[in-house]
Structure 1
Amino acid sequence: MSGAKSGCKTIIQKEAPLAMYFHCAAHRLNLALVSSCSILAFKSAESCIGEIARFFSYSAKRQRLLDKAVEVKSSSESRANKLIDSCITRWVERIESYTIFMELLHEAIHSSLDAMAHPRLHTDLGTDWGWDGETVTRANGFLFQLQSPSFLVSFHILQVMTLLKDLTEKLQMQAIDVIYAYNAITSVVSTFKSLRQQ
């Protein structure tokens, strides 16, 4: 799009020299969010979420336990039972993985990991799973990470940032004008100000 020799910007500016080029507003917002998530605490929380998603998705047996935990423990209205790994570059795709993780975090994920580490405490999920030592060790490690203050604070801040999903999607609409975009941004800014005051 922005190539100096054969990009769309160059071709248009040859015909209309006064035309100005600027990046897509949604793309710029995405870049800003990805940059803000380069803070070490956020990177650690994102890494933990991704590792846990892969931990369950790479094993049918572990995924079956998570499915059972969702069925038995989860009180949320969500029908999600499979974690998804977060996309490194696209913020909108990260939001879905955070949302699913949050919906399952306190009940199903925690119960599944605890059942792997301490199967006798979770007879409602079954005790005959026969977990290997590596699974038990990793489950204990994930439980420790999920309960750390650094993870909890970082993850909740990431959850607040998911309020930008609607804005990102609105900024990507085909028929958007400057006034609509400005109003959408103003609405999100006022929501953040309200959250900060609370």
Structure 2
Amino acid sequence: MHGWARAPPLEGGAHPLSTAAVWRGNRVPLGLSEHACVAFKLDAKALTDEILGVLKSHGIDFRANLVGQGYDGASVMSGRHTGVAARIKQEAPFAFYVHCHAHRLNLVLIDVVKSLPDAAQFSLLEKLYIFISGSYVHAKWLDVQKELYPNEQTRELKQLSDTRWACRYDTCKVMKERLHAVVRVLEGLANDCNADRAIDARGLLGQIDARFAMKLVIMTHILGKINQLSNLLQSANLDLVKAVELIETVRANLEEMRSDPASFDALWDEVEKNSAAPGFDTSECRSSRKRKLSTQLQEFVVTDSTGKQSGSTHSDFSVKDSTRINFYPILDHMLTEMTRRFSNEACELMKALQALNPQSAEFLSFEKMSGLILAFRANEEDLSHELHSAKRMLERRYKDLSDNEKPKSLLDFVRILGPYEEAFPEPYRLAKISIVLPVSSALAGSREKLLCSEINQNYTEKYNG
């Protein structure tokens, strides 16, 4: 089962819900059921009863055949002992719960943005969007872009999203690329005949300086790393094997940024380039002046003051070095949050799925499949023999093929094993289960419908062809 969605309440306190379930049957390898219903209570017990009732109404033997469930991280759904996921797993022991990976990533981003010294900068971006979206100002915004960027298409500022924080990358990216135009528009309206509009323009213009431009480039760079992963995690063709590869890739990229000075040097070059267009000077970003020594201590040697604030002003450093000192803790925080958010039981299962990835060095390794064996109660002895035989069969079958012709994904592996299901029942069963385990609850139904269709077509061809 791949989660549920809730819309705003209807009259009388009813809540419309939708569910999507993927299950395996006796004569049909995989099935998909989608259902919309109404619930009058949203506590864990009521939601569990509603979901199980939907499965029963479709005649699905969920106790034996339900192999996965995915939701966001709300406590009512993911509570360890009394949440919906725990209650369903008591009824269906194979219904492994996966916390929506797109939601996990959203939580990482929220925590990282909160750690930024000037998270309030997002409020300024929202105010700029509101101001420039007005019809009178918007016309000038388009005219200024045509003047400054005659060979480029005009761009629109993006509104912030309170739920999908990865979308804030789009907001920062457009603002960074059109900062010169934003400044030009505000300067032109600072003395507008409309007093209210002129005051708003001057107020916004006063907050846009070299420090704002510098932080905008850094935020865009950091959010871009997360946004790329967020988009991929919501791809309709993504499976858990690819998800774990993408997460590890992003983590490796962040670690490289943290350890390689050249990465920050390249970022700083972009900061200076972006600041130059609107006429800003990065030297204006020099840290605040040193605190003056109390006159009562002028006759003493003072090495440090007990009232010194946390977060040194770094006034003895260059602007670039001061920025570097503030930049690295943000990367450290992001790495810590990614490790914390993607390191539980579900992620251990994801790592076990690498043994079913044809491009992994651990492909068909029995030792790496312990997570899958425990979660879905595979017969260890049979699985060990079948994996060994399957590996030898694939080696003989593809020894004369080029790398481009060999299987590259979990779905490719399922297609190959389909005709040999009776010879390799345990690997085929685990591969089918793995391919429909949820990555993101936002994808409930779309990817699974495609996968079920493909696998069932192979099944039909095998028995009726």
Both structures adopt the same fold (TM-score exceeding 0.5) = yes
Aligned 8 A contact 1:69 1:108 in 2: yes
Aligned 8 A contact 2:190 2:201 in 1: yes
| In structure 2, distance between residues paired with 1:46 and 1:169 | 21
Shift of 1:186: 2.5
Q: What residue identity is the alignment partner of 2:145?
A: V
- 1:146 aligned counterpart, secondary structure: coil
Q: What residue identity is the alignment partner of 2:103?
A: H
Aligned 8 A contact 1:92 1:165 in 2: yes
More strand by share: 2
Segments of 5+ residues of structure 1 without an aligned counterpart are 119-129
Residue of structure 2 in register with 1:17 after alignment: 93
Indicate how the Cα distance of structure 1 residues 23 and 80 shifts in structure 2: closer, same or farther if over 3 A, else same. farther
Residue of structure 2 in register with 1:146 after alignment: 208
Taking the TM superposition and a 5 Å limit, the aligned residue runs for 1:182-193 are 182-193=244-255
Residue of structure 2 in register with 1:122 after alignment: none
Taking the TM superposition and a 5 Å limit, the aligned residue runs for 1:12-161 are 12-39=88-115, 41-57=117-133, 59-74=134-149, 77=152, 79-105=153-179, 107-117=180-190, 130-147=192-209, 149=211, 151-160=212-221, 161=223
Percentage of identical aligned residues = 25
Shift of 1:153: 4.1
User: Could you list the runs of 4 or more consecutive aligned residues of structure 1 that deviate by over 6 angstroms after TM superposition?
Assistant: none
Indicate how the Cα distance of structure 1 residues 176 and 30 shifts in structure 2: closer, same or farther if over 3 A, else same. same
Taking the TM superposition and a 5 Å limit, the aligned residue runs for 1:159-178 are 159-160=220-221, 161-178=223-240
Q: In the comparison of the two structures, how many residue pairs are matched? A: 183
Aligned 8 A contact 1:86 1:97 in 2: yes
| In structure 2, distance between residues paired with 1:188 and 1:76 | 34
| In structure 2, distance between residues paired with 1:33 and 1:14 | 33
Indicate how the Cα distance of structure 1 residues 76 and 152 shifts in structure 2: closer, same or farther if over 3 A, else same. farther
Shift of 1:101: 1.6
| In structure 2, distance between residues paired with 1:36 and 1:17 | 36
- 1:21 aligned counterpart, secondary structure: strand
Indicate how the Cα distance of structure 1 residues 100 and 76 shifts in structure 2: closer, same or farther if over 3 A, else same. farther
Residue of structure 2 in register with 1:125 after alignment: none
Aligned 8 A contact 1:66 1:81 in 2: no
Q: What residue identity is the alignment partner of 2:135?
A: A
- 1:49 aligned counterpart, secondary structure: helix
Residue of structure 1 in register with 2:456 after alignment: none
Structure 1 or 2, whichever has the larger Rg, is 2
Indicate how the Cα distance of structure 1 residues 97 and 76 shifts in structure 2: closer, same or farther if over 3 A, else same. farther
More helix by share: 1
Judge which range, 184-193 or 62-71, deviates more. Answer: 184-193
Shift of 1:42: 4.1
Shift of 1:86: 0.6
* TM-score, with structure 1 as normaliser: 0.78
- 2:253 aligned counterpart, secondary structure: helix
Residue of structure 1 in register with 2:402 after alignment: none
